């Protein structure tokens, strides 16, 4: 009886080992890591220059008085005279908008409160003709404005200029990549990835120039001479590198 049981146990053990060996043999063995295919990375830069065709001037009108009502009334009168002067200078009504208004307690420069209130009004004037910017600034000051917070120049075809600059950046990146491939004894293969970024002229889309507090009555006209606008683009690309025939 004992010999019979031992025989059964040995048979079962042999069977289990055979099953385990078949299971191991059925497993898929993952291949080891392969060497990365050679690549070439290159960057490019492109610029587009264009002449500005319009300007945006931010004008400030500030008044101070003993009460908030007095400050508001004085400010309204100065704003009305400023707007009238701007229209007289040739700025269309649709190109004049209010960009901000506030009335607050007046404070000293050291932060201490002093008597009275300050009213501020910001006017945005779009000027369709960059040669008229100086005249418009003079008109605003003579009309009652005391601050020119910024002057921004722009052009309606900025987006087209950006795409042109981007095209030049990609061309430069690919040309440099081809030079690198040839120098390494091979050729340029398919494009793997390509990315780009662009930048607009300083001040375009925001008002970044320092404000200037002006006084009216000057006999010397203001002269503003803008530079050409420069739109820049950058491109970064990765290409396959195809090695040349071995010698």
Nearest to 236 by CA among 207, 193, 206: 193
Residue 115 lies in a domain: yes
Asked which of 44-58, 114-128, 129-143, 220-234 is least confident by mean pLDDT, the reply is 220-234
Count the domains in the chain.
2
Looking at residue 7, its pLDDT comes to: 43
State whether 76 and 166 are in the same domain: no
Q: In this predicted model, what pLDDT tens digit does every residue of 189-212 receive, in sequence order?
A: 999 999 999 987 765 543 333 334
Which residue's entry shows tokens 């908030």? 68
Residue 134 lies in a domain: yes
Q: Round to whole Å and give the CA distance between 49 and 37.
A: 40
Q: What is the CATH number of the domain that holds 90?
A: 3.30.70.2970
Helix axes 133-143, 68-88, angle to 10 degrees: 140
Residue 27 lies in a domain: no
CA distances (Å), origin 43, targets 30, 186, 237: 37, 19, 6
State whether 188 and 70 are in the same domain: no
Q: In this predicted model, what pLDDT tens digit does every residue of 126-176 receive, in sequence order?
A: 999 899 999 999 999 999 999 999 898 989 888 999 999 999 999 999 999
Looking at residue 137, its pLDDT comes to: 94
CA distances (Å), origin 78, targets 1, 72, 121, 157, 193: 120, 10, 10, 36, 58
The domain in which residue 80 lies consists of: 54-154
């Amino acid at each position: 009886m004992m010999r019979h049981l031992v025989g059964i146990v040995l048979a079962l053990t042999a069977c289990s080992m055979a099953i385990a060996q078949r299971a191991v043999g059925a497993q898929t063995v993952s291949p080891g890591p392969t060497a990365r295919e050679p690549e070439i990375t290159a960057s490019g830069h492109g610029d587009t220059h264009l002449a500005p065709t319009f300007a945006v001037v931010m004008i400030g009108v500030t008044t101070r008085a003993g009460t908030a009502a007095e400050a508001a009334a004085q400010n309204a009168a100065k704003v009305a005279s400023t707007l009238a002067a701007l229209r007289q200078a040739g700025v269309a009504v649709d190109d004049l908008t209010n960009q901000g208004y506030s009335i607050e307690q007046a404070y000293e420069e050291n932060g201490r409160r002093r008597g009275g209130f300050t009213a501020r009004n910001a006017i945005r004037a779009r000027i369709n003709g960059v040669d008229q910017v100086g005249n418009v600034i003079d008109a605003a000051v003579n009309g009652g404005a005391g601050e020119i917070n910024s002057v921004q120049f722009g052009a309606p075809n900025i987006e087209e200029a950006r795409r042109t600059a981007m095209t030049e950046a990609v061309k430069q990146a690919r040309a440099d990549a081809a030079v690198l491939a040839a120098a390494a004894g091979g050729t340029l293969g398919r494009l793997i990835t390509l990315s780009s970024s662009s930048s607009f002229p300083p001040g375009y889309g925001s008002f970044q120039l320092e404000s200037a507090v002006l006084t009216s009555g000057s006999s010397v006209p203001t002269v503003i001479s803008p530079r050409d606008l420069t739109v820049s683009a950058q491109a970064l690309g990765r290409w396959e590198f195809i090695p040349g025939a071995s010698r």
